[in-house]
Amino acid sequence: MSSTNRTLLKAAGFLMAAQMASRILGFLRETLIAGFFGQSRVTDAYNTAFILPDLLYWLLVGGVLSAAFIPVFSEYIAKGNEDEGWRVASSVVNLIFLILGVFVLLGLFLTPQFIRLMVPGFKVQDIALTTHLTRILLLQPLFMAFSGLTMGILNSYKIFWPSALGTVLYNGCVIFFGTILANPAKPESISGFAVGVVVGAIANFAVQIPALRKVKLRYYPIIDWHHPGVRRIAALAVPIIMSYSLNQIQIAVNNNFGSMLFPGSISAIWYSSRLFQVPVGIFALAIAVASFPTMTEQAALKQWDKLRQTISRTVRMVIFITMPISVGMIVLRYPLIRVLFQHGHFTSEDTLRTAIPLLYFALGISSQSVIQILPRAFYALQDTWTPVILGIISMALDILCMFLLVRPLAVGGLAFADTISAFVNMLLLFYVLRKRLKQINGRSLFWTGAKTVTASLLMALVIWGWNTWLTHLIGVRTVSSIVVLISGTAIGAFVFAVMAWILRMEEFEQTMGLVRRKVGLRPAK
């Protein structure tokens, strides 16, 4: 295995572990919210309150960071021109905070009007609570911008641990403040979780400061509009800003439809989306983040063969990991929801409602995972328009499918629309990227997909039989559901591993090789 591959696997492995810890805390957070407040308009209000802060962050920071800042800054680092890179970084940071500060102030004044537009089905008291929570959360984008830009700088130096640790601290703060301030008898006490979000964003940034000092942070109080690096970032960022605007439209339409369904509909979609995002966040996003600086460097140095190999390898690994998780989540969705959420004010009826969108979301886990990687391949090529154009097509399809499916499938239709859109987006990205790079190891991708589907379906059949028999035997209480979930997961993992070994999958060998090195074993000669 090459040194580049080892570096990627090591970085991805660490990020996966950190993401795993963060996601566990994240689910503890969601479990506490569900236990305190159930699945109701209170939790609908809390989840809706994130729309405006997230909109500001992704428009002004997230898009610039992922698609424009890291590739340009990484190019300066790769070519040994760090001082100019830091001047560009300083200009971008100063500009973002100037614009973001203005938008946050406007958001504080216009929150009620924005909320009424987002969720027309909410009653007056629901609007008031959502407005209160949104105004608290509007402090979050400022500190998330600090941590996001800092993460971008450190990732360009291929330093990943501070931001990974920051996400763990973030969720820890939300849990701490939410728990000590929550009171189920007072719906407004859910604001404790919003306070924890703001404190967590501060902690997320603070933990990265020591690493910034180690890379010899250089800050200049300038906004150099004429610097070619700044102008290039601006040119790359424009289509991404458009892309995230369209993404927020999708979220707004989803909430708009959800607000007109039964109380708790938005929360049902939220809880189920959190579950399906776990493998996307732990595995796909970790691999994508770890591989992105390498792809950027290979594109900057015009190492096209290596770039094709990196893209193919990361996509195949993501498919190999996420496909069995997708199938397993579909089969085990009921015990999974019972274990994580069904306690306190979250009832068995809420479990049934949440399981419906989870089924449709889980169908799209692999597609959602792959589209964490493919747009970054375009970004590495400093092409930010192509993913946006394809995203517009996918967004239009998503909204059309929501409109067509929400009546027959209710919350399930909203989730299924997202899955259909993600699958089409993935196919379009593959097609255009293959044309751009002339080839993309399509045969290897096909066989990895075919073998993974075969192994996953056999695994699903075994898990389904076990789940049905054991649930009938021991029931559906919390302890019983834990037993079903753990045993079903273990059996499924074993069956899938055996099938992957029988099918001689390269990804299985790579995974086992990484495990051997971690535990100090050498492969047999």
pLDDT digits (tens, 9 = 90+) for 251-294: 788 888 988 888 888 889 988 988 888 888 778 877 887 788 88
Provide the phi-psi class of 382: left if phi over 0, else alpha when psi is between -120 and 50, else beta.
left
Provide the phi-psi class of 216: left if phi over 0, else alpha when psi is between -120 and 50, else beta.
left
pLDDT tens digits for range 45-74: 999 999 999 888 877 776 666 567 777 887
Quick one: average pLDDT of 403-424? 94
Nearest alpha-carbon partner for 100 in 152, 75, 63: 63
pLDDT, averaged across the chain = 87
DSSP notation for 313-355 = HHHHHHHHHHHHHHHHHHHTHHHHHHHHH-STT--HHHHHHHH
Where are the alpha helices (H) located in 157-282, listed in sequence order?
Answer: 161-181, 191-206, 209-214, 228-259, 265-279
Quick one: average pLDDT of 293-298? 87
Q: What is the pLDDT of residue 331?
A: 97
Q: Which is more confident, 2 or 347?
A: 347
Q: What is the pLDDT of residue 6?
A: 60
pLDDT tens digits for range 330-380: 999 999 999 989 988 898 999 999 999 999 999 999 999 999 899 989 988
Q: What is the pLDDT of residue 150?
A: 83
Cα-based distances in Å from 327 to 71, 281, 467, 499 = 35, 17, 13, 15
pLDDT tens digits for range 135-153: 999 999 989 888 888 887 7
List b or e across 154-191, with b for residues whose CB sees 16 or more CB atoms inside 10 angstroms: bbbbebbebbbbbbbbbbbbbbbbbbebbeeeebebbb
Residues 280 and 16 sit within 8 Å (Cβ to Cβ): no
Residues 335 and 318 sit within 8 Å (Cβ to Cβ): no
Nearest alpha-carbon partner for 382 in 8, 59, 69, 60: 69
CA–CA distance, 45 with 127 (Å, rounded to integer): 8
Residues 48 and 115 sit within 8 Å (Cβ to Cβ): yes
Could you tell me the pLDDT band of residue 192, with boundaries at 50, 70 and 90?
Answer: very high
Question: What is the chain's alpha carbon radius of gyration, rounded to the nearest angstrom?
Answer: 23
Quick one: average pLDDT of 203-217? 86
Whether this prediction's pTM lies above 0.75 is answered by yes
Q: What is the pLDDT of residue 355?
A: 95
**Residue 1 reports pLDDT greater than 70:** no
Cβ neighbors of 109 (< 8 A, separation 6 or more) are none
Could you tell me the pLDDT band of residue 243, with boundaries at 50, 70 and 90?
Answer: confident
Check residue 185 and report its DSSP letter.
T
Q: Which is more confident, 350 or 157?
A: 350
CA–CA distance, 486 with 488 (Å, rounded to integer): 6
Q: What is the pLDDT of residue 42?
A: 93
Highest mean pLDDT among 164-173, 213-222, 474-483: 474-483
pLDDT over 70 percentage in the chain: 93
**Residue 134 reports pLDDT greater than 50:** yes
